[in-house]
Every structure is written in structure tokens, then in C-alpha cells.
Chain A
Amino acid sequence: MSAPVTYRQPVSRLWWLKKRTYVLFVMRELSSVFVAWFVVFLMMMVFAIGRGEESYQKFMDWAASPVIVVINVVALAFSLLHTVTWFALTPQAMVVRGPGSRQVRAMKEVRVAGQWVPAATVVRVGGRLPASVVIASQYVGLVAVSAFITWLVLR
């Protein structure tokens, strides 16, 4: 019995405009472009600082030009989008265990001298921290790092 003639549903080139969640996803992915932009900006700045006060001043004058300021405002918006989405996804992407977890013995395969062999090992079970705790602690980290860098630069 021959296979039926199936119809392959085409995927539009603009598939990502079809759903709000897809649009948000692509915006999140595009934030990486602004990450790269600002990394290059920082490299240029550090290089200018290294070459002396005059070249540092020239760099800052360029950085203050309207086009660059607008780009950096957009970069900040995308950077915040990256931060907010990254923090929100972390508890889904990894299991963070708190004091409620405990170690149990388990039999798993482990690598010994390049070979996989069954062996007794320990795994942790239970005590998974709620997502809100994981997310909040990342924001605490963000505030701490930001405060430290601000202090470092402005003291």
C-alpha cells in the first residue's frame, strides 16, 4: 500500500511576526547585537584611556554625540530586556536547591579510565527553591554588582 500524498505546510519567512510570544522572543535574541555593540564601545574606551587624557576626552566627546547617545539608550533598553528575561528564565533552566534538599545514594554509570561502569554515587533530591527566590536573588546580585562598580568608578 503506497503512502498518501501529504501536504507539507509551508513556514512563512515572517513566522516570528505571527504571535506576540514569537516577537518578544526575537526581540530578546536581538539584544545580543547590543551586547556586542557595547562590548566594542567599552574596548574603544579602555583603549582611549590607555592612550592618555586627550584621547580619553576625544572618545567621550564622540560618545556624547547625539547618534551615539541614542544608540546607547536603545542598547540600555535591550540590555534591560536581556537582564529581565534571563533572570526570569533561570529557575526554569536549572534546579537550584536550598537547605531542604538531601543527599541520597544512587547507582548510576560513571566514567572510570575512559570506560562507563555502574557505580554507587550520591545525588541530591528535594529542596528545590521556588522560582521567586531564585529570581529575587539574581536581582540582589544585580544591585550589588551595580553598586560596587558605581562606587569603584565614582569614588
Chain B
Amino acid sequence: MTKRHVEPIVWLLFSGGGVVASVFLPILIVLFGLAIPLGWVQPEYDHLHAVVSHWLTRLVFLGLVVLMLFHWAHRFRFTLDDGLQLRSFDRPIAVLCYGGALVGSMAALLIVLTI
């Protein structure tokens, strides 16, 4: 098989993103989307800063972001293709989706390197 295929690779990223989203996202939304903003729990800023700055957190956070963004990109691309029947525009849709995921990944990289 000498021909390079991109679909298997993006599908693996989509799958990996789906796995991490299924396991990590609910608790993250509960904690950071609801519990802390609404004051149900009040962790100290210094503690949060310490957790976030830890090299392992930075690494895991980057990994989660990249996988989940590509999960969104792949799934959303097919939702537009099939759900809205925009399959004839698949090329530009794919560029926007995977490109968006790439931009988000680079932003995440910058963030974990500079916090």
C-alpha cells in the first residue's frame, strides 16, 4: 500500500477524541462550568495555579485539547455533509474543520507553554 490515505488518520484522532471526551468531559463541565462559577465549591486560586502549571497537567491538557478538537472537526464535517446535505462542499468544509482544529491545537500549545 504505497498510496497515502488521510481518512484513517483523522478517524483515529476522532476516535481518540471521542474516548477522552466521554471520560473527561462530564466532570470537567460539572466542576469548571457549573460548580466553581456558581460558588458550590471554592478552591484556592494558588492551588488551581499550582495544578495547572504542573508539567504533567500541561501535557495531559494539551493532549486532551488536540484530540477533542479533532473529534469535533471530523464529526462536524460529516454532520454538515450528511445532515445539511452539503457534501458537494466537502473539500472546503473539511479544510475549515480540520484547519480550525489545527489552529485551536496551536493556541493550546502556546497556552501550555506560556502559563
Contacts and interface: CB of A to CB of B under 8 A. Distances in A.
On whether A and B touch (CB less than 8 Å), the answer reads: yes
Interface of A: 11, 13, 16, 26, 29-30, 32-33, 35-36, 38-43, 45-47, 49-50, 53, 56-57, 60, 63-64, 68-69, 72-73, 75-76, 79-80, 82-83, 86-87, 138, 141-142, 145-146, 149-150, 152-155
B32 A45 contact: yes
A50 B34 contact: no
Contact of B51 (A38, A42, A153): A153
Interface residues of B, number: 51
A150 B27 contact: yes
B75 A86 contact: no
A31 to B, nearest CB: 8
A60 B107 CA distance: 21
A114 B41 CA distance: 57
A83 B25 contact: yes
Contacts of A76: 26, 29-30, 33-34
Interface string B48-81: 1101110000000100110011011001101100
A86 B85 CA distance: 24
Interface of B: 17-19, 21-34, 36-39, 41, 43, 45, 47-49, 51-53, 61, 64-65, 68-69, 71-72, 75-76, 78-79, 83-85, 104, 107-108, 111-112, 114-115
B33 A49 contact: no
13 contacts: A32-B79, A38-B33, A39-B72, A49-B52, A60-B37, A64-B39, A75-B29, A76-B33, A82-B18, A82-B21, A82-B22, A145-B27, A149-B28
Given A36-B68, A49-B48, A87-B22, 4 more contacts: A43-B108, A49-B49, A79-B26, A83-B26
